[in-house]
């Protein structure tokens, strides 16, 4: 009989080595801050890059890495080369990490005025304090965009959302990318609204694709995370250094929850799209509504662009209610099924008033110039029975 020479205290504290004989059916959660080396030499080889391996979860974690790889496969499954991908702590940290990797003081960002409010604030307040200027324009006015590129050689990055949050404005990905390439500019897109199930920007030659994976990719509102994916190898090393040293990395728990949500992405998005179209049609016909922003409607100014580059129109819409901001408040307060929450992409219907929440700190002139009025209401249409969603909105409209 082999005697155990360790004391009971040491056995309690220590970890037994786990060498699985069979593959787990579900992704394991690697809830560990660090990884043990068998020898000093192995540690040196991993730290110097001679050998693959995990050392510290800020540098990489099996759960995190596998989920990043899965999303990279979704964004690039019909490409010759799968893009590289890094999970981050949120969608905002994905944007900031990409920006820190690409931009230097004196550079300029060219973007649209109807971005998510947090992104506009990031560009103006954080990047602005670092000496990076942001220029807002209509990215569908290609003649003006080209003139701006000629007049402002310091423009380094073209950044856009399509569809945009919350007006659902679209940018023609082929045209804007062709123009950016002609002037040797970096391109980045927030693909959160459509997800790779409905739109894959890498097919148009985009350099970076960003997601707030908190939203539709997860779909259940139980974690916060983001991802930045890239095809431009020039910035891969710098991006990795930023994420590692700035500590914007994703964590295994949120990645594990995200992986569970990804399993139902396709079936959820199909229902989101179907329900949103029916709700949009109802709203467009309602006498209490000025107009509806939903790219599935022919009345949306960018409907044709969406048709060219998306396989479905998504679960997001917004509408302008007749009256003043008090009418918007009353509408929201009368809702019974839908939830007022500052997020989107969950399985249940979520409603938000951009002017007093997501875009509260965006300059009012810029906000209203881009259709984000005091009477605009954003709806993330859930996967409930669409009759119940429509009835809730109907009674709230009064």
Active site residue 116: yes
Residue bearing tokens 């593959």? 23
Q: Could you write out the DSSP letters of every residue in 313-324?
A: --SEEEEEESS-
pLDDT at 50: 92
Q: What is the mean pLDDT of residues 336-342?
A: 96
Q: Name, in order, each residue with C-beta under 8 angstroms of 227's C-beta and a sequence gap of 6 or more.
A: 68, 71, 85, 86, 87, 88, 94, 210, 211, 213, 250
215 is catalytic: yes
Res. 151: pLDDT tops 80: yes
Check residues 82 and 8 and name the one with the higher pLDDT: 82
Which member of 45, 56, 58, 138 is catalytic?
58
Decide which of 389 and 359 is more confident.
389
- Report the pLDDT value the prediction gives residue 20, as an integer from 0 to 100: 78
In the chain, what percentage of residues exceed pLDDT 70?
A: 99
Q: Which of 30, 84, 116, 235 is catalytic?
A: 116
pLDDT (average), residues 129-141: 97
Q: How far apart, in whole angstroms, are the C-alpha atoms of residue 92 and residue 274?
A: 29
Is-contact 343 379, C-beta < 8 A?
Answer: no
The pLDDT-based confidence of 1 (bands split at 50, 70, 90) is very low
Tokens of 201: 């920007």
> Euclidean distance between the first and final Cα of the chain, in Å?
81
Task: Note whether 283 and 349 are within 8 A (CB).
Answer: no
The average confidence (pLDDT) of the chain is 95
Among residues 65, 107, 172, 190, the one annotated as catalytic is: 190
Check 65, 84, 107, 215 and give the catalytic one: 215
| Least confident piece of the model among 37-51, 97-111, 191-205 | 37-51
Kindly report the length of the chain.
Answer: 398
| CA 256 to chain CA centroid, nearest Å | 17
Q: How many CB atoms are located within 10 Å of the residue 29 CB?
A: 15
For 342, the 3-state DSSP assignment is coil
Q: What is the DSSP string of 120-143?
A: HHIIIIIIHHTT-EEEE--TT-HH
Q: Averaged over 199-228, what is the pLDDT?
A: 98
Q: Is the pLDDT of residue 184 over 50?
A: yes
For the chain, domains (ranges, CATH) are 42-262 (3.40.640.10), 265-397 (3.90.1150.10)
Distance CA 312, CA 303 (A): 11
Tell me what the mean pLDDT of segment 72-85 comes to: 95
Nearest to 279 by CA among 167, 396, 389: 389
> Do 378 and 354 meet the contact criterion of CB atoms below 8 Å apart?
yes
């Amino acid at each position: 009989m082999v005697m155990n020479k360790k004391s009971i205290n040491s056995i309690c504290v220590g970890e037994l080595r786990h060498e699985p004989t069979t593959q787990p059916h579900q992704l394991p959660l690697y809830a560990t801050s660090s990884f043990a080396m068998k020898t000093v030499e192995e540690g040196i080889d991993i730290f110097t890059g001679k050998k693959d391996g995990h050392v510290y979860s800020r540098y990489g974690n099996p759960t995190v890495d596998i989920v990043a790889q899965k999303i990279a496969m979704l964004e690039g499954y019909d490409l010759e080369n799968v893009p590289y991908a890094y999970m981050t702590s949120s969608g905002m940290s994905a944007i900031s990490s990409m920006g820190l990797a690409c931009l230097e003081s004196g550079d300029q960002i060219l973007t649209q005025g109807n971005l998510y409010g947090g992104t506009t604030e990031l560009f103006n307040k954080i990047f602005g304090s670092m000496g990076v200027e942001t220029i807002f324009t209509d990215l569908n006015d290609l003649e003006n965009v080209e003139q701006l590129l000629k007049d402002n050689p310091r423009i380094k990055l073209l950044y856009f959302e399509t569809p945009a949050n919350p007006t659902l404005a679209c940018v023609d990905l082929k045209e804007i990318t062709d123009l950016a390439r002609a002037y040797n500019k970096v391109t980045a897109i927030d693909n959160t609204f459509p997800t790779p199930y409905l739109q894959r920007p890498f097919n148009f030659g985009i350099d970076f694709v960003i997601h707030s994976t908190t939203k539709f990719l997860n779909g259940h509102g139980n974690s916060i995370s983001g991802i930045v994916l890239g095809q431009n190898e020039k910035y891969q090393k710098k991006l990795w250094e930023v994420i590692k040293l700035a500590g914007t990395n994703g964590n295994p728990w949120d990645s594990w929850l995200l992986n569970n949500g990804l399993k139902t992405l396709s079936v959820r998005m199909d229902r989101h799209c179907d329900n949103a179209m029916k709700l949009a049609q109802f709203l467009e016909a309602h006498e209490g509504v000025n107009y509806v922003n939903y790219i599935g409607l022919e009345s949306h100014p960018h409907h044709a662009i969406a048709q060219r580059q998306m396989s479905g129109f998504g679960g997001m819409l917004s509408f302008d209610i007749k009256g003043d901001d008090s009418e918007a408040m009353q509408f929201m307060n009368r809702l019974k099924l839908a939830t007022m929450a500052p997020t989107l992409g969950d399985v249940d219907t979520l409603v938000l008033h951009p002017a007093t929440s997501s875009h509260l700190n965006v300059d009012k002139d810029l906000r209203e110039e881009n259709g984000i009025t005091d009477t605009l209401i954003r709806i993330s249409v859930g996967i409930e029975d669409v009759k119940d969603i429509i009835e809730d909105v109907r009674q709230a409209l009064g």
